A and B are shown apart, each in its own frame.
Chain A
Amino acid sequence: MSASSIRGLETPEGVPIQLELASVGDRLVAVMIDLFLMNVLGIFLAIIVVLTGARGRAELAAAVMLVVFFLIRCFYFPILELRWRGQTPGKRATKIRVISRSGGPLTAQAVVARNLLRELELFQPMVILLAPAAIAGGFPAWVGLIAGLWVLVFALLPLVNRDHLRAGDLVAGTMVVRAPPMLLLDDLGAARGQPALQFRVDQLDIYGAYELQTLEAVLRLGNTLENAGALTAVAEQIQKRIGWTPGTERVGPFEFLSTFYAAQRARLEQRLLLGERRERKRPAAPTAP
């Protein structure tokens, strides 16, 4: 999760939630899966119509097929996005989802509008790329070329704006985000059976929230063999910085860091309750070389 792709969203209850934008690559894969499924669905239904109803009623079968193809082309995306709360099979596979940028509900109008513009962004560019004559038909080639460029500008829109919004998102007030994984890790501060190391208040007043959460990330890597080097290095660094002298009992780097983490978090959270939030560590004392 990189900071540049995090977007804030305020729920109607007034609580901001942070979400990660879906990448253009994910969205491209999703739309390709969906296009593939649309084709499979169309061919499948066509086979059913031909096998069941076509005998002697070819015209009726053709009529049914026309309507079915039309419905798939125009309503595959909107119906699925409405029923599956902003997802289609392609979006489910890539774990992304459409949401309203305002934090409110995703309305039917918005869903229809954002998919209406696929005509401009997806279907017309595909026609231009696959069969340029269909656009220019009857007109000189340069008209087709200009029309093609004109339409491609809109197809490439998601690549040139910060939120990867496509024209449909602009019009519908939506954006596409990654569905966040819900995983509650153990509370490192609640671990029991730690050696009773004591830290002085001035030792706990050096680091801030940023260092604490970096330490948390290091600890979550676990006390494993391949992690041992990193743990030792971090432990030594901290011990040096806070001027900690080992007492009688010997503790390994992981035990030291876990205990220090709990003590440091307790201290910072205590100060947080009093309204003092320390983001970063204090600069090193001027006496240090």
Chain B
Amino acid sequence: MSGELRMPSVRFRQEREASWRTLEALVDRVQRSGLRSLSAEELGRLPVLYRAALSSLSVARAIALDAALLAYLNALAARAHVVLHGGREPFAFAFRRFWAQTFPRAVRSLRWQMGVAILLTALGTGVAWRELARDPQRWSDFVPPAYAQGRGPEATDADLKAILERKETPRSALIAFSSFLFTHNSTIGLASLGLGFAAGVPTAFLVLTNGLILGAFGWLYGSRGLAWEFWAWTLPHGVTEIWALLLCAAGGLRMGQALVFPGRLSRLASLRRAGETAGVVALGSVAMFLVAGLIEGIFRQSVGDPAIRWAVAGSTLAFWSLYFSLAGRTA
């Protein structure tokens, strides 16, 4: 009497090996050349074969002692698992759902952190304004020279005003300017989002710095009686841009908060939740920065009338407020 007749694991393997090999070949092909390389019929068989392999793995663990067989089935199941569950939604569907639901919901979930970010900005603005009103010489403490570009307490009214005016610029220069603004602001926004993991400290610092710069310019133009023109120049894109920056900061603060105060969740679980929101905010804010960059680079340089600029600023404010407060609400 030989062992093989009595050994169920040998027969188990002989009966199922063909289906494992088929799955292995399919998984190999998907990993090498993508899901599209499978025919409709193969695509239909994939999940069936996958579940069969998983059940083989469970059974083998119960009845077989062949280490090579267990290792193979484990590897097969792991690879097939990635193919079947590593999947993505169709892009168009995911795209629509992102804007209709995921993004506005994530933003609403961040309202407290948004509040903190707004307070920090307001604090920076107030401090810079007050300090400069007392001592204009402190200008360079608040505004880095690269940012000021000659604007400062020493600049004449005419110089300051000239910056706010419409200029005849070739279209390609406008596009170049827009793309610079878009990439520059997105990089800062994403940095403040990512750096938030470090307990939120770098993010808070960036937001505060932003507030300081905003306050310094507000004071400068305000003190020259150019407030109306200055804000007309800043806000059409500023509403979108500052909003996106605040969102990034809020997402960053949320991550820092999840790390330091996980609340009732485990620290890992709380970080994970915060990370999900942060990922959504990152994608959404990059799009907002793109919009802001286009407004700033193209619209602002082409339209000079402060009244129209104010109108655009007001409508962007209305648009984002309505979008974030209403989109994706259930019932």
Contacts and interface: CB of A to CB of B under 8 A. Distances in A.
The answer to whether A binds B is yes
Interface of A: 9, 11-13, 15, 17-19, 57, 59-60, 62-64, 66-67, 69-70, 73-74, 82, 85-86, 97, 99-100, 103-114, 116-120, 124, 137-138, 147, 150-151, 153-154, 167, 170-173, 179-190, 192, 194, 196, 209, 212-213, 216-217, 220, 259, 262-263, 265-266, 268-270, 272-273
B52 to A, nearest CB: 11
A105 B84 CA distance: 8
A118 B268 CA distance: 18
Given A70-B187, A105-B86, A189-B9, A63 B179 contact: yes
Contacts of B296: none
B7 A216 contact: no
A63 B180 contact: yes
SS class, residues of chain B in contact with chain A: helix
Nearest to A181: B75
Contact of B6 (A108, A114, A184, A266): A266
B12 to A, nearest CB: 10
Interface string B35-60: 00000000000000001001101100
**Most chain B CB within a 10 A radius of its CB, from A111, A124, A171:** A171
B197 A185 contact: no
A268 B279 CA distance: 51
Interface in B45-81: 51, 54-55, 57-58, 62-69, 71-72, 74-79, 81
Interface stretch (B131-139, B168-176, B322-330): B168-176
B244 interface: no
B67 A216 contact: yes
A152 B108 CA distance: 33
A171 B275 contact: yes
Nearest to B69: A187
A66 B179 contact: yes
A188 B3 CA distance: 11
A184 B69 contact: yes
A18 B81 CA distance: 12
A114 B272 CA distance: 10
27 contacts: A17-B57, A19-B78, A57-B172, A59-B175, A59-B176, A60-B172, A62-B176, A63-B177, A66-B176, A74-B190, A85-B31, A106-B85, A108-B94, A109-B102, A116-B193, A124-B195, A137-B144, A147-B202, A151-B198, A172-B279, A173-B272, A180-B79, A184-B20, A209-B65, A212-B65, A268-B65, A269-B64
Contact of B7 (A100, A154, A269): A269
A182 B193 contact: no
**Most chain A CB within a 10 A radius of its CB, from B20, B27, B82, B172:** B82
Contacts of B57: 15, 17
Interface residues of B, number: 83
Interface stretch (B156-164, B280-288, B304-312): B280-288
A106 B82 CA distance: 9
Contacts of A86: 82, 86
A74 B286 contact: yes
Nearest to A213: B67
A70 B198 contact: no
B43 to A, nearest CB: 16
Contacts, number: 230
Contacts of A111: 279
Contacts of B177: 63
B82 A97 contact: yes
Nearest to A199: B3
Contact of A106 (B28, B86, B190): B86
A120 B194 contact: yes
A19 B276 CA distance: 24
A85 B88 CA distance: 9
B149 interface: no
B86 A116 contact: no
A216 B175 contact: no
Nearest to A99: B82
B8 interface: yes
B263 interface: no
Contact of A117 (B24, B72, B194, B276): B194
B313 to A, nearest CB: 25
A17 B173 CA distance: 56
Contacts of B178: 63
Contacts of B55: 15
A116 B68 contact: no
Interface in B81-102: 81-83, 85-88, 94, 102
Contact of A182 (B76, B87, B180, B278): B76
A106 B27 CA distance: 17
Contacts of A64: 179
Contacts of B190: 74, 116, 119
A185 B283 contact: no
Given A15-B57, A171-B271, A173-B275, A108 B88 contact: yes
A98 B321 CA distance: 37
The 9 closest A-B pairs by CB, nearest first: A171-B275, A85-B86, A119-B194, A113-B279, A180-B75, A109-B279, A112-B279, A262-B3, A63-B176
